[in-house]
Chain A
């Protein structure tokens, strides 16, 4: 199946900072694609590149099988996005905002349909009120209504639960599941909350310091029987060569610093150990990580603490 979004070698540098580095991933039709990383990991920069707000320094983005930069308008007609905060015109009413953005999206939507859209996000009773009187949760819901008003195929939600109370977070989670299961939309949702992504995503990408750490099916990544093993060897180049030639090649993960990462079932660890000895790989250490959450916390532990919110 052709992916709906295909990102290859994406890099974005700002003067002296490289926010995203050589990032590649793909999103298939119908996926709820969880984009996970701590604050400052490069999630928003990547999402802004997907939404054409930022130009990549290097790399390519294809959406619906076409290069984004040369087919921007055609592609964006089928994309709905809420980037960071759902900022809309505070001096306009919810209805006026929705109508305005529907027109900007190139669709003519009847008053009845606009009201239905507001009703879906629970705002029809406040349709005539100016947005400046709205709570953060209501603004978020209006932002999502705006992202959906032109019936897009692909929906991009950047940190949609930021600033919401537990009920608001649950509402957004249910909405994402509804979009995917009932309306068959493809959703990319970013978050720094592992728990949030775990509950909605069918596929997950974890990034840190602008680099891909791991990508895979959520069911596999969040499987408690699965684990990540970190190897330290005397000669990593030789070790990787040997592993790539062996049955372990499909278990190899992108290398992080000096560690070789292998993803496997916990019960396969003794076999891995035996094979490493057979391959004459001189091992310094072999360290299993207990779960994806533990691994996520370990690889993304930096200056900022990663929030593993659960309600």
Chain B
């Protein structure tokens, strides 16, 4: 199995298209960093315009943690497309090149072949998120420094102490990994049904857009569906930045407001991953390779 995964990773990282995602993330983070470095004060003024009269914040609001949060809010909506670029190409790309035929005449079971491909796609997702973490968190900490994190929620504000933030980002990235692996597994499943990459990539993104719209529409008939849509749970990483308060309305350092919500979201995402990959294995084992 390890040999198969090594071969798949070798193939992934020898293809130029693999680096599009790394380049895109580098470019997007770079633009956010450039913009905020240049005109960050105006951005913060705009962000605080409604509460400036009622709250006085001391310290440096525009710090590395703040920029990282802004970056993740923007990027984690678009990263699924970059994940789909590779994951949805894993089988369809081989079918398109004709290499699926030659691969499947080798003495490897189809299940192992498919799982190795999925694990390689997961490894790619992991590396992409590590790259995102390096640029969005570590580089921003270097460029903008560190301070307390000030977050505006819909009807309250959260202030996280400087020393109580880094671990939250580590968990947030771990959760994002789970969310992006769900996207990868969906793209992977779709890649079984086509002989070019475009169809599965578009199908994956269409499902995400469709489900996201359903998740955000506040219409009673859709509300019953929301807990079952993986897109509802993909933004669960934000829960790590919500903190508990005591009776005196003081923040409890090291706490999370609703850990159960995170666990539920993680379980739903994991169930989707297992479901998508199992469906892919079952279908692929019976599939006639006609490409």
Contact = CB atoms under 8 A, between A and B. Distances in A.
Contact of A81 (B98, B99, B105): B105
Nearest to A74: B107
A83 interface: yes
A75 B105 CA distance: 10
B286 A91 contact: no
Nearest to A79: B105
A73 B101 contact: no
* Dominant SS among interface residues on chain B: helix
B289 interface: yes
Interface string A65-107: 0000000111111010111111111111000100011011110
Nearest to B101: A83
Contacts of B97: 87, 89-90
Contact of B107 (A14, A72, A86): A72
A218 interface: no
A239 B142 CA distance: 95
B289 A87 contact: no
A101 B3 contact: no
Interface stretch (B8-16, B159-167, B253-261): B8-16
A76 B290 contact: no
A104 B106 contact: yes
A52 B101 CA distance: 10
Contact of A100 (B7, B109, B290): B7
B213 interface: no
A51 interface: yes
A53 B288 contact: yes
Contacts of B271: none
- The bracket for how many chain B residues form the interface is 20 to 34
B177 to A, nearest CB: 28
Contact of A91 (B15, B98, B105, B109): B15
A81 B97 CA distance: 17
B263 interface: no
B16 A87 contact: no
Contact of A104 (B16, B108, B286, B289): B108
A72 B105 contact: no
A14 B290 CA distance: 11
B109 A72 contact: yes
A55 interface: yes
Nearest to B106: A104
B106 A76 contact: yes
B1 interface: no
B102 A83 contact: yes
Nearest to A48: B289
A88 B290 CA distance: 16
A170 interface: no
Contacts of B3: 103
Contact of A55 (B4, B106, B286): B286
B98 A53 contact: no
By CB atoms of chain B within 10 A, which of A53, A74, A100 has the most? A53
Interface string B68-105: 00000000000000000000000000000111011111
Contact of B98 (A85, A104, A106): A85
A54 interface: yes
Given A100-B7, A100-B10, A87 B107 contact: no
A58 to B, nearest CB: 14
A213 interface: no
B102 A87 contact: yes
A55 B107 contact: no
Contact of A53 (B4, B16, B104, B107): B104
A148 B69 CA distance: 55
A194 interface: no
B101 A53 contact: yes
Contact of A105 (B15, B106, B290): B106
Contacts of B106: 76, 101, 104-105
A146 interface: yes
B40 to A, nearest CB: 42
A125 to B, nearest CB: 22
Contact of A54 (B10, B15, B103, B289): B289
A73 B16 contact: no
Contacts of B99: 87-89
A88 B102 contact: yes
A104 B103 contact: yes
A78 to B, nearest CB: 9
User: Which of A48, A86, A90, A96 is packed against the most chain B CB atoms within 10 Å?
Assistant: A48
30 contacts: A14-B288, A48-B289, A51-B104, A53-B105, A53-B288, A53-B289, A54-B289, A72-B109, A73-B107, A75-B107, A76-B105, A77-B107, A79-B105, A81-B105, A83-B102, A84-B98, A84-B101, A86-B102, A87-B98, A87-B101, A87-B102, A89-B97, A91-B15, A100-B10, A100-B11, A104-B4, A104-B7, A104-B103, A104-B108, A105-B106
Question: Can you list the 7 inter-chain pairs with the closest CB atoms, starting with the nearest?
Answer: A87-B98, A76-B107, A53-B289, A73-B107, A104-B106, A54-B288, A81-B105
Interface of B: 3-4, 7, 10-11, 14-16, 97-99, 101-109, 286, 288-290
